[in-house]
Amino acid sequence: MKKYSVFAVAREAMRHHTGWNRAWRDAQPKKRYDVIIVGAGGHGLATAYYLGKNFGITNVAIIEKGWLGGGNTGRNTTIIRSNYLQDPSAAIYEKARSLYETMSQDLNYNVMFSPRGVIMLAQTEHEVRGYKRTAHANALQGVTTEFIGPERVKQLVPIINLDGPRYPVLGGLWQARGGTARHDAVAWGYARACSDMGMDVIQKCEVTGVRSEGGKVTGVSTNRGDIDCDKLGIVVAGHSGHLADMAGFRLPIESVALQALVSEPIKPCMDVVVMANTVHGYMSQSDKGEMVIGGGTDGYNNYTQRGSFHHIEETVRALVETFPMVSRLKMLRQWGGIVDVTGDRSPILSKTPVENVFINCGWGTGGFKAIPGSGWGFAELMAKGQSPLTDAFGLNRFQEGRFIDESVAAGVAH
């Protein structure tokens, strides 16, 4: 792999950029791998990366039915924060957030991590109390957050309207080192590093069956033939129920559409991320100047990557109240992704009823921020059978009633 650096840019500038190589090999499936990861989204790729980097396991294939990062990883609004309420969540999200800080250097790939700060607005008395509680919990967890008053919110976000008619801004939960990153670059950076370690990133290869013998996995069937493996990691977000069905077990997951939209590009007007969970809308400004906007999920099961228009309308209506200038913006485009939602709004990183099949799913509406931490923990779980980061996120928690309840804490969990 050629290292990317300022010198490489200068050298290529001198020779009309003719010397750039492919960032990763266009790999073809082999007969057998030690580990197969299904799904080349951020979580699958990060898992493969840490299997290689932390455990020296490099005979690995990452199999993707579409294109790299074409699932939710390439469709999300890229908010990164770790101000969760429950200890296991804070641990894995903060691990992830801290890995984002050095990801560009670690991968030698600019993922444009921008720790610009994230505010979650408190617009009801309940939210004020809830976020104060979260700030206290975060202090105990070693996650730096702070509850701030309305004046400070206005200072950080001059375009905000504090005294909205329905939901005045009463304060906010502020995480100064939260922010955003370039989503595609996260997938591409990991893919390049994985390919460099000798792993095969195989695109346009759809897993159509999971093969097992005596309750133990032996491989997968794909539209490009059978591939054998010792261990299988299923990391397919909205498609998890479908893959679990192939392997012969059920999941506490429902797949629904979540949408986002962007406005026309405008001059810099807001240099933090603002989430308004009561009214279901959140917004940040991309480097191109577009206002990136997201809201809530549709209520019904859906695999079409299209959501209902009235949700877009609701989201924008909510934002116009808090950010009156939004009413003058033209919206450019809108899209949807299929997110995998669990009963307690927390992910599943777990062994499964089939031996050597592991599953990483249930990140729902908020897993982009978790990619490096999830990959770190899930790689350890796959390599060693156990990981302190993933212990609490097992499938058994639903039977044991040991929920990691973030549904109340997060409201909208991006």
Binding site for other proteins (CB under 8 A): 239, 241-242, 245, 250-255, 298-304, 306, 308-310, 342-343, 398-400
For helices 371-384 and 87-101, what crossing angle results, to 10°? 110
**Min. distance of Cβ 206 from other proteins in angstroms?**
12
Which one among 25, 32, 53, 66 touches ligand FAD, defined by CB under 6 A?
Answer: 66
CB closer to ligand FAD out of 5 and 223: 223
**Min. distance of Cβ 17 from ligand FAD in angstroms?**
29
Please, which of residues 317-336 interact with ligand FAD by CB under 6 A?
Answer: none
CB closer to other proteins out of 132 and 306: 306
Three-state DSSP state, 326? helix
Per-position b or e across 384-404, b if 16+ CB within 10 A of its CB: eeebebbebbbbebeeeeebb
Strands 281-285 and 146-148: unpaired
CB closer to other proteins out of 191 and 341: 341
Cα distance between residue 279 and residue 187, in whole Å: 31
DSSP string covering 268-288: ----SEEEETTTTEEEEE-TT
Please, which of residues 201-240 interact with ligand FAD by CB under 6 A?
Answer: 206-207, 235-237, 239
CB closer to ligand FAD out of 12 and 298: 298
Cα distance between residue 6 and residue 362, in whole Å: 39
**Min. distance of Cβ 239 from other proteins in angstroms?**
8
**Min. distance of Cβ 309 from other proteins in angstroms?**
6
DSSP string covering 380-406: HHHHHS--TTTGGG-TTHHHHT-----
Residue carrying the six token digits 């939260």: 178
Residue carrying the six token digits 């669990």: 342
Three-state DSSP state, 17? coil
Burial class from Cβ neighbours inside 10 Å (0-12, 13-18, 19+) for residue 17 reads exposed
> Per rule CB under 6 A, is residue 178 in the interface with ligand FAD?
no
**Min. distance of Cβ 232 from ligand FAD in angstroms?**
12
x/- string (CB under 6 A) for ligand FAD, residues 2-41?
Answer: ------------------------------------xxxx
Residue 263 touches which of ligand FAD, other proteins, none (CB < 5 to 8 A by kind)?
A: none
Cα distance between residue 144 and residue 82, in whole Å: 9
User: Are 161 and 322 contacting, i.e. CB atoms less than 8 angstroms apart?
Assistant: yes
Which one among 117, 130, 171, 337 touches ligand FAD, defined by CB under 6 A?
Answer: 337
CA distances in angstroms from 366 to 102, 213, 243, 404, listed in the order given: 21, 35, 21, 15
**Min. distance of Cβ 244 from other proteins in angstroms?**
9
> Per rule CB under 6 A, is residue 79 in the interface with ligand FAD?
yes
**Min. distance of Cβ 51 from ligand FAD in angstroms?**
15
CA distances in angstroms from 195 to 37, 97, 199, 313, listed in the order given: 14, 24, 5, 42
Q: Which amino acid is at 286?
A: S
CB closer to ligand FAD out of 136 and 185: 185
Cα distance between residue 376 and residue 96, in whole Å: 8
| Candidate segments 110-118, 126-134, 309-317, 363-371, binder of ligand FAD by CB under 6 A | 363-371
Which one among 71, 88, 171, 377 touches ligand FAD, defined by CB under 6 A?
Answer: 71
Residue 254 touches which of ligand FAD, other proteins, none (CB < 5 to 8 A by kind)?
A: other proteins
Residue 41 touches which of other proteins, ligand FAD, none (CB < 5 to 8 A by kind)?
A: ligand FAD
Give the pair of three-digit tokens for residue 193: 């590093």
CB closer to other proteins out of 198 and 299: 299
CB closer to ligand FAD out of 41 and 130: 41
CB closer to other proteins out of 198 and 248: 248
Q: Which residues bind ligand FAD (CB under 6 A)?
A: 38-44, 63-66, 70-73, 75-79, 206-207, 235-237, 239, 243, 258-260, 294, 337, 339, 363, 365-369, 414
